[in-house]
Amino acid sequence: MLEAFWNEDTGWAKPKIVPTHDFPVHPFNSTFHYAFEGFEGMKAYRDADNKIRTFRPDMNAKRLNRTSAELCFPNFDPEEFVKCVDELLRVDERWIPQPPSTLYIRPTIVSMTNKLGVHPPHETLLYVTSSPSGPYFKSGFKPTHMKVESQGVRAWPGGTGHVKVGANYCQGIKYVKSAFAAGYDQVVWLNGKTIAEAGACNIFIYWVNKQGQKELVTPMLDGTILPGITRDSILQLAREDKSFITSEKKIPINDLVKAHKEGRLLEMFMCGTAVVVGPIGSVTYKDHKIVPKKPDGELSVALYKRLQDIQVFFPCLIIV
């Protein structure tokens, strides 16, 4: 693992790569008490030439800095961060599996201040661990069935939904648990009456809009949506295709219900580093079971392949 300590008085210590180990922490450690924690998720891929690659790691570095800023943690130079991760991958090269498996990389930043009281931390630890991980879909795409959560919210205006703090993920977990108990695979989060995210993924809807145009749409970044790196990559790829329009905007849940009733809903999918792209087979909102015309995905599968080609096959910067 990689680790770098920061102290208010002395700044960042030299980052080190060390064997993975436990941390001795005092019971007053403020991460435990007040959730002073932020993290990232990225992957290392082994390409067709057996070389190691990462995908847009600068975006993870910058997002971790934004998360850190939200928690009054120190910032770092994103380029230095990427160099450190590359060095870790050189050391851990033998743990990077053959495709379609990948090495999942988890940069994490926590408070190391051992003191009660809600204050910006005086000491932090940035560490990066990793683990080989299999593909999200072991045998082909399996559409996900989701419940729209109309009581609990994942994020709210002025909150921390636009960054990756651990607290975002534990606070709504009871709603996720009850969706699992009711037989769903995940929840779709709303902000009021507009669609927000699909579990810990961004969501895309492909429909014929009210103006009769084919449109791929995703919720706009209004401060409550996590700016996913996969989301951004899909938007860039989709905008190259002129056979439909691509937009970011507010999507009222009632517009989705209406599009389904009027036979205009073509596809829905989720996206994120772990899944890459995953078709959504149905979304249940109150009494409405919303099933797109192509629950197995068509555009989503094409986008997945385009993205995977870039992640694993396209000539790019190679680390090892």
- State the residues that interact with ligand PLP by CB under 6 A: 41, 164, 197, 200-202, 226, 228-231, 272-273
CB nearer to ligand PLP: give 187 or 257. 187
Distances (CA, A) of 171 to 153, 155, 166, 174, 176: 9, 10, 9, 8, 10
Q: How far is the CB of 296 from ligand PLP (least distance, A)?
A: 22
CA atoms within 13 A on the CB side of 227: 13
CB nearer to ligand PLP: give 62 or 122. 62
Q: CA gyration radius for the chain? A: 21
CB nearer to ligand PLP: give 65 or 230. 230
Residue nearest to ligand PLP (CB): 228
Give 136's contacts (C-beta < 8 A, 6+ positions apart): 274, 275, 276, 278
CB nearer to ligand PLP: give 30 or 202. 202
Q: How far is the CB of 163 from ligand PLP (least distance, A)?
A: 10
Q: How far is the CB of 102 from ligand PLP (least distance, A)?
A: 13
CB nearer to ligand PLP: give 52 or 270. 270
Q: How far is the CB of 76 from ligand PLP (least distance, A)?
A: 19
Q: How far is the CB of 283 from ligand PLP (least distance, A)?
A: 16
CB nearer to ligand PLP: give 33 or 56. 56
CB nearer to ligand PLP: give 102 or 230. 230
Q: How far is the CB of 59 from ligand PLP (least distance, A)?
A: 7
Q: How far is the CB of 201 from ligand PLP (least distance, A)?
A: 5
